[in-house]
Structure 1
Amino acid sequence: MIDFYTWITPNGLKVAIALEEFGLDYRAHAVDITSGAQFSPDYLAINPGGKIPAIIDHATGITLKESGAILFYLAEKTGRFLPPSGAARHQTIEWSMWQAASFAPTLGHAHNFLTYNPGMAPFAEEIFRRDTQRLYETLDARLEGRDYLVDDYSIADMATWPWVSRFARHKINLADYPNVRSWYLRLALRAAVKRGYEVPHVTGAIPLP
């Protein structure tokens, strides 16, 4: 059994979707970051950084934080959604790292400047608007002629999709990125993605472009 500590953010959703895709037994614990629950002593004992998500795998005794590290751990634990060797494995790692190092941080700032605090910092808004568009262009180019980021559906797709699901907060029209739009809708039809999107609780239907 895995205890999964999460909230309704893209980083939380990527692990929720992964747990559903891997078919692992888990218990979801809502950590309401809007009320500061991530800084409670009990949670800081699990993740001293005070961020979600985190897991405790009671089968192995391993506690992990950082959504990307959790995805790699679950893939290796189950032997699924991460090729064991070769170019496909390295490309899956590559695009997972792109998501963690470039896509997610930039889009997180886009949330803050373009949606939550518009007009507060015009220079920053313009920087993150341009960078967000550039990253969507990168993703669109990668998905040209592809169903998934690498050869088959993988943890790289699971990591990236929840961030794209916030496209409205990025001020992005997915019609401008047709390959991303097709990929996004393809994954939105997956039963495990639908279930994961409702963890730790339902916030509404998956946004559709």
Structure 2
Amino acid sequence: MTIQLHAWPTPNGYKVSIALEEMGLPYEVHAVNIGAGDQFKPDFLKIAPNNRMPAIVDPEGPEGKPLSLFESGAILIYLAEKTGQFRPKDPAVWYTHIQWLMWQMGGVGPMFGQAGHFILYAPEKVPYGIERYRNESKRLLKVANTRLEEATYLGGDDYGIADMATFPWVRNAPKYDIDLNEFPHVQRWFNAIAARPAVQRGLGLLADKVKPAGTPLSDKERENLYGKK
């Protein structure tokens, strides 16, 4: 049966659309317009109580029962376990992939996200915030560069869910005035992933909804994304 993907075209949304394409799973997209406040609707909160997308509903979850999941990292692990794809049988290798997935979840996503906020969307320029999060984003890229000097992919020899999770965020580096040429092993890794047909299809998620980087936010969008709500 078809998996329901509740998402919006952001790096976190792309993680799951890329994984679904890579694994060949049928899915249908339910747009969660985070600027319009769809993430606060009661029906969405039933499956994503943290009012963040993406989330999925799998009508054929464990034991054939429906399962809903939020948090992109949990979704990627679930899909790998469900299909047996991108799920190394060697426990040590699998946990290495999970380790780098957690690195993305705890580091790359939050730090790149804050860089994007202060550089592109903050209502006023805050030099300290811009410098702080751009520098931290570059530090994380240096960590990745060191790792990718010794391994083809973040998890090791084989492409996996940690790469699917990290790639959409690294894709934003130029928007933050970060030159990937400073990180040659990351650049090599990035180019290899960008060339994958499933990745290209996954990046088509709600393509008609994508706005150019830095498009000014309306007061309503700013309240829904960054306000007290």
Pick the TM interval, shorter chain. over 0.9
Which residue identity lines up with residue 129 of structure 2 in the other structure? A
1:70 maps onto 2:75 in alignment: yes
1:129 maps onto 2:130 in alignment: no
Q: TM-score, normalised by structure 2?
A: 0.85
Q: Note the aligned Cα RMSD (angstroms).
A: 1.5
What percent identity do the matched residue pairs reach?
46
- Paired residue for 2:117? 112
SS of 1:63's partner is strand
- Report if the CA contact (8 A) 2:53-2:70 is conserved: yes
- Paired residue for 1:207? none
Which residue identity lines up with residue 90 of structure 1 in the other structure? Y
- Deviation track 1:21-59 (CA, whole Å, cap 9, x = no partner) reads 010011111111111111112212221221100000001
SS of 1:28's partner is strand
Q: Please say which of residues 136-145 and 78-87 is displaced more in the overlay.
A: 78-87
Tell me, in whole angstroms, the C-alpha distance in 2 between the residues paired with 1:72 and 1:46. 17
Tell me, in whole angstroms, the C-alpha distance in 2 between the residues paired with 1:119 and 1:136. 27
1:188 maps onto 2:194 in alignment: yes
Shift of 1:86: 3.1
- Report if the CA contact (8 A) 2:112-2:134 is conserved: no
Tell me, in whole angstroms, the C-alpha distance in 2 between the residues paired with 1:146 and 1:186. 13
Tell me, in whole angstroms, the C-alpha distance in 2 between the residues paired with 1:45 and 1:148. 36
Shift of 1:125: 1.8
1:27 maps onto 2:24 in alignment: no
Tell me, in whole angstroms, the C-alpha distance in 1 between the residues paired with 2:194 and 2:123. 29
- Paired residue for 1:93? 98
- Paired residue for 2:183? 177
- Paired residue for 2:57? 56
- Report if the CA contact (8 A) 1:114-1:171 is conserved: no
Q: Considering fraction of residues, name the structure with more helix.
A: 2
- Report if the CA contact (8 A) 1:137-1:177 is conserved: yes
Q: Please say which of residues 177-186 and 142-151 is displaced more in the overlay.
A: 142-151
1:41 maps onto 2:42 in alignment: yes
- Could you list the structure 1 runs, at least 4 aligned residues long, displaced by more than 3 angstroms after superposition: none
Provide closer, same or farther for how the CA distance between residues 48 and 86 of structure 1 changes in structure 2, counting only shifts above 3 A. closer
Tell me, in whole angstroms, the C-alpha distance in 1 between the residues paired with 2:9 and 2:50. 18
Provide closer, same or farther for how the CA distance between residues 183 and 118 of structure 1 changes in structure 2, counting only shifts above 3 A. farther
Q: Decide which of 160, 166, 172 is 1:166's aligned counterpart.
A: 172
- Report if the CA contact (8 A) 1:17-1:197 is conserved: yes
Tell me, in whole angstroms, the C-alpha distance in 1 between the residues paired with 2:81 and 2:200. 23
Instruction: Return 5+ residue gaps in structure 2 as ranges.
Output: 212-229
Q: Decide which of 146, 153, 157 is 2:151's aligned counterpart.
A: 146
Instruction: Return 5+ residue gaps in structure 1 as ranges.
Output: 205-209
SS of 1:59's partner is coil
- Report if the CA contact (8 A) 1:132-1:170 is conserved: no
Tell me, in whole angstroms, the C-alpha distance in 1 between the residues paired with 2:121 and 2:177. 12
Q: Please say which of residues 32-41 and 142-151 is displaced more in the overlay.
A: 142-151
Shift of 1:145: 4.3
SS of 1:3's partner is strand
Shift of 1:123: 1.7
Counting matched residue pairs gives: 204
